[in-house]
Amino acid sequence: MTGANRGIGRAVVAALHERGLEVVVTARRLGDAQSAAREIGAAKAAELDLASEPSVAACAAALARDGATIDVLINNGAVLAEGDVLTATSADLRRSLDVNLLGALWCCRAFVPGMLQRGYGRIVNVSSGWGSFAEGMEGPAAYAISKAALNASTRSLARSLRGDVKVNACCPGWVRTRMGGTDADLTPQQAADGIVWLATLAADGPSGGLFRARQPIAW
């Protein structure tokens, strides 16, 4: 789980831990990952900075050295930057694509080959309705474009999977977190439900879809 130190990510790792899964709490700062892991009672914490491909590779290598097998990957960490295509800063555009899109792809490249070898895996890309063409690509440009590309990556990756390895994207809804703000509809715990569902799908569950509250939504 990336970005597991706060907000929706933290609620998801707590829920998965409660269900008996051995979770790896990652955050871009090791201390944040360790505090969150301690608070939810999880054994494993690791540093993983989505903006850095070497950081993702180093995290995967360290987990492999520890003998950890990653069967579920939740690409959750993200940033939200303001501005439209014409006004967003270059730095914000680059960072949004680095963290929200490329970071998820680096994680897939680090962890999905092992899932394919073992014949089992669940990948959840935490996306947004703001990245949906069907919902009008609302929201700040850098964020919406990065989430639309994450949605495209979901469909594209699904084509490379075989065995019981599935990838789906999930819009958590509008959630009361640092990103969602205090007026949002849902608690992080409520929003975690759809992500936990996709992370623990049975073998006859869907792959290559976009969901909100366990229901398919249009791309």
Binding site for ligand NAP (CB under 6 A): 2-3, 5-9, 27-29, 32, 48-51, 76-79, 99, 126, 128, 171-172, 174-175, 177-180, 184
Q: Where are the alpha helices (DSSP H) in 19-83?
A: 30-40, 53-65
Q: Which is nearer to ligand NAP, 116 or 190 (CB)?
A: 190
**Cα–Cα separations (whole angstroms), residue 37 to 68, 74, 104, 131, 208:** 16, 16, 21, 30, 30
Least Å from the CB of residue 162 to ligand NAP: 27
Catalytic site includes residue 120: no
Cβ-proximal residue to ligand NAP, closest one = 7
Would you say 94 or 118 has its CB closer to ligand NAP? 94
Cβ contact 176:187 at 8 Å: yes
Compute the least distance from the CB of residue 74 to ligand NAP, in Å.
10
CB of 209 to ligand NAP, least distance (A): 16
Q: Which residues contact 57 (CB under 8 A, 6 or more apart)?
A: 106, 110
Q: Whose Cβ is closer to ligand NAP: residue 125's or residue 207's? A: 125
Query: Which two structure tokens, joined as six digits, stand for 164?
Result: 């019981």
Of the candidates 143, 146, 167, 211, the residue annotated as catalytic is: 143
Minimum CB separation of residue 56 from ligand NAP in Å reads: 9
151 and 132 Cβ atoms separated by less than 8 Å: yes
Cα-Cα-Cα-Cα torsion 150, 156, 160, 165, nearest 10 degrees, comes to: 50
Q: Which CB atom, from 21 or from 97, has the smaller least distance to ligand NAP? A: 97
**How do 215-216 and 210-212 pair as beta strands?**
antiparallel
Catalytic residue positions, numbered:
143
